[in-house]
Amino acid sequence: MIQRTLAILKPDCVRKNLIGKVIKRIEAEGFKIIALKMVKLNSKTAGEFYTVHKQRPFYYDLVSFMSSGNCVPMVLEKENAIEDFRKVIGATDPAKADEGTIRKMYADGKEQNIVHGSDAPETAAYEISFFFSTRELVENL
C-alpha cells in the first residue's frame, strides 16, 4: 500500500550542511518527496509536536534542541513508507543504529540524531497535518 510519512531534517542536520546528502539518500531509497519546506520552530510549536514525550526526562532538552535552528519537514511517499523510512534512519541512538543507516552515518548522539520519521499511520497523518496544509500536498493543487 502506498503510504505517506513525515520526515524532518532536524536543526543539527541543517547546521552540519547535510540537507543535500540526506535528501539524496532519501530519494535513492525510492521515496518520492511530495512536499517540503524550511521552518524554524519555537518552543511552543516544538513542544506541541513532541507532546507525546511531555513526561519524559529529555523533553525540555528536546524542545530546546528542536527550536534551536531551522528544520526541513517533508512528506515522503512510497510503498510501506512509514516502516521503510524508520529502517533507513535507524535506531534513535546512533550508537545502537545499524551500519549504513542515516543516524549511524551522521548523528552525534541520541538527542541530536539528524532526522525524524513518523512511527505509525495515525502519527504520520497528524504530523503531516502539523506542517502541511492539504493545498501544500502537490497532488491536491
Task: Write out the residues near ligand ADP by the rule CB under 6 A.
Answer: 53, 58, 62, 92, 110-111, 113, 116, 119
Active site residue 116: yes
The smaller minimum CB distance to Mg ion, of residues 81 and 135, is found at: 81
The smaller minimum CB distance to Mg ion, of residues 117 and 133, is found at: 117
Q: Tell me which residue of 24, 4, 2 sits closest to 125, measured CA to CA.
A: 4
Active-site option among 7, 8, 116, 127:
116
Question: Could you tell which of ligand ADP, Mg ion, none binds residue 111, using a CB distance below 5 to 8 A set by kind?
Answer: ligand ADP
The smaller minimum CB distance to ligand ADP, of residues 42 and 134, is found at: 42
**Distance (Å, whole) CA 75 – CA 7:** 6
Residue 36 C-beta: closest distance to ligand ADP, Å: 19
Contact positions vs Mg ion (CB under 5 A):
119
The smaller minimum CB distance to Mg ion, of residues 55 and 140, is found at: 55
Q: Tell me which residue of 135, 131, 138 sits closest to 39, measured CA to CA.
A: 131
Looking at the DSSP bridge assignments, the partners of residue 71 are: 39
Residue 65 C-beta: closest distance to ligand ADP, Å: 7
Integer Rg of the chain from CA: 14
Q: Tell me which residue of 38, 35, 37 sits closest to 139, measured CA to CA.
A: 35
Residue 3 C-beta: closest distance to ligand ADP, Å: 17
Query: Interior CA angle at 35 toward 17 and 123, to 5°?
Result: 95
User: Which helix (H) or strand (E) covers residue 131, if one does?
Assistant: helix 121-131
Question: Could you tell which of Mg ion, ligand ADP, none binds residue 68, using a CB distance below 5 to 8 A set by kind?
Answer: none
Active site residues: 116
